[in-house]
Chain A
Amino acid sequence: MTDISLLSKNEAGQKLTKELLLNLGPQHPSTHGVLRIMLELDGEEIRGVDTIIGYLHRGTEKLAENFTYTQIIPLTDRLDYLCAPSNNLAYVLAVERLLEIKAPERAQYIRVMMAEMARISGHLLISGALPMDLGAMTTLLYVMREREMIMDLMEMITGARMHTSFCRVGGVREDLPDGFEPRCREFCHVMKQRIDDYERLISENRIFLKRTRDIGKISGEQAIDWGLSGPCLRASGVSWDMRRDNPYEIYDRLSFEVIVRENGDCYDRWKCRMDEMRESVKLIEQCLDQMPAGPVAVAMPDIAFPLNKITVKSSMEAMIHHFDVSAYGFPVPKGEAYVSIEAPKGELGFYIISDGSPKPLRMKVRAPSFINLQALAVLARGCYLADVIAIIGSLDPVIAEVDK
């Protein structure tokens, strides 16, 4: 019988294997969108990774230079479409910094509450999609059930399920609808139990552990060097959360724990998101408890839209004014501001340069998915082909945000 090792060698004893270039994507279900990866393989082992993006590039930043400040809000929805309220929040905070205004307290609570709901929605999807990529289909179907509850709540507040566009410069679009609070509390109550259910389903599953433990490891120092942020960084033992370290809006009045894990592998990144969802539920409950009554937009008629739509429909001057604000926008003082928030994916920053006109001179989006995805090349080197899928899932890139 021929020894198996002889088959892969020629008579001179040289190896007969050769390196292979494998193209993964752009149309592949486990790349979470139109992501293309060129893999250099030696057998099943990854020697090199070239991530090719841009298939969904829409030129958000170029468009923003030609839009008024209010018109840009819907554009930001379409970056990380799973967590539209967070994107809105980061953008309006940057404009508010330039205008040197602050939204009324009630509006701030509504924004934070919606951003936390968005965080749960985003984390839910990926914590279901990662096991699905590895063959455990069940979780995805369960998380979709809870995500539907969030979608219903979003629809109740804004009328839209995904592209909410609810934040406005100087506040939010309108007040919360009647009957929202009991439904939201019911969701929080249900959600707490459901997170335990998912953990029971997956976190001790032997196949899942084998596929994620010690796969795609990155040390804290390296993670910082590669600019990872959010759960991807905290899974590597770096305790940095902007909600705690540079609090914006009313986060300094809320109490929550920053989830940090030590190992920095795919499992820890997944687990980090699971635990963060629990904290987000607590944050939503605190927002509901503390939410004061009051206006939801600043009393600055040249910036904020009139909340009383009846006046707009009955008074000619009010209607002209409303038209004016929507069609021509409002000028923003000359200057530049960079504001970043802790979005579900990491540090989401908006850098706006204003030349004093109603349109920005330059708007730059610091998209966390874009930067996190860059680390794929480092994480995947030396792993096996099947691990690449787990690593992409654990980095949680949303291609719409990667490609802007």
Chain B
Amino acid sequence: MSNQPLRELLQRESIQQRCESVYETFGMLTLTVSKENLLALCHLLKHDSALQFNFLSDICGVDHYPQRPRFETVYHLYSIPFKYRLRIKCRFELDELPPSVVPVWQTANWHEREAYDMYGIAFVGHPDLRRIYMWEGYDGYPMRKDYPLRGYADHYNPFGEARSERTEGA
């Protein structure tokens, strides 16, 4: 399906002033946004009568280590009435975390818990930010690029790397 109608809708002033750039890559329109504008933009995209992005498909955390800013969250939206797909990207460092989008889409709850569990991205304002796959008290964030594939060596994991070999960066 052509992205032209959606591209024209995204040209409007209210959207343009909230996002940093709009581009198309491999057949999907992508918006980049700063963490300050993220929540307002999501709210606008969901409630605008010409867009109605009512379905949040996915939230993906990304670690761009050693590049800076290091972390990124990627949101994939879908509009069930108009069949549009859209990607939103927000890049940040750990000392300036993005807001939770749970107020906009309830389904974001577990997606954000997963990103927190795997990357340590503590979304601001999340109602129930706990680990989801790993157990409580687990040390470290396993999907980070500087976390060893086999984990760290301990009593249960003799094949892991010794902790002194690496220092986990923030």
Contact = CB atoms under 8 A, between A and B. Distances in A.
B54 interface: yes
B58 A374 contact: no
A66 interface: yes
Nearest to B30: A336
B2 interface: no
Contacts, number: 86
B9 interface: no
A224 B80 contact: yes
Interface residues of A, number: 38
Nearest to B46: A225
Interface in A38-67: 53-54, 57, 59, 61-63, 66
B62 A362 contact: yes
B114 to A, nearest CB: 8
Interface stretch (B12-20, B32-40, B101-109, B154-162): B101-109
A223 to B, nearest CB: 10
Interface string A169-192: 000000000000000000000000
Of the listed residues A59, A225, A227, A340, the one surrounded by the most CB atoms of chain B closer than 10 A to its CB is A227
Contacts of A229: 55
A147 interface: no
Contacts of A66: 149
Contact of A336 (B26, B54, B105, B111): B26
Residue from B28, B55, B56, B131 having most chain A Cβ neighbours under 10 A: B55
Nearest to A367: B58
Contact of A227 (B56, B118, B132): B56
Given A66-B149, A226-B106, A337-B26, A351 B58 contact: yes
Given A61-B143, A62-B149, A349 B76 contact: yes
Interface of B: 1, 25-28, 54-58, 60, 62-63, 74, 76, 80, 83, 85, 87, 105-107, 109-111, 118, 131-135, 142-143, 149
Contacts of A362: 60, 62-63
B110 A374 contact: yes
Q: Across chains A and B, which 6 residue pairs bring their CB atoms closest together, nearest first?
A: A227-B107, A54-B133, A364-B60, A366-B58, A57-B133, A337-B26
A97 interface: yes
A351 B74 contact: yes
Given A227-B55, A340-B57, A97 B76 contact: no
B110 A97 contact: no
Given A53-B132, A227-B107, A97 B26 contact: yes
B109 to A, nearest CB: 7
Contacts of A97: 26-27
A319 interface: no
Interface stretch (A101-109, A127-135, A238-246, A384-392): A238-246
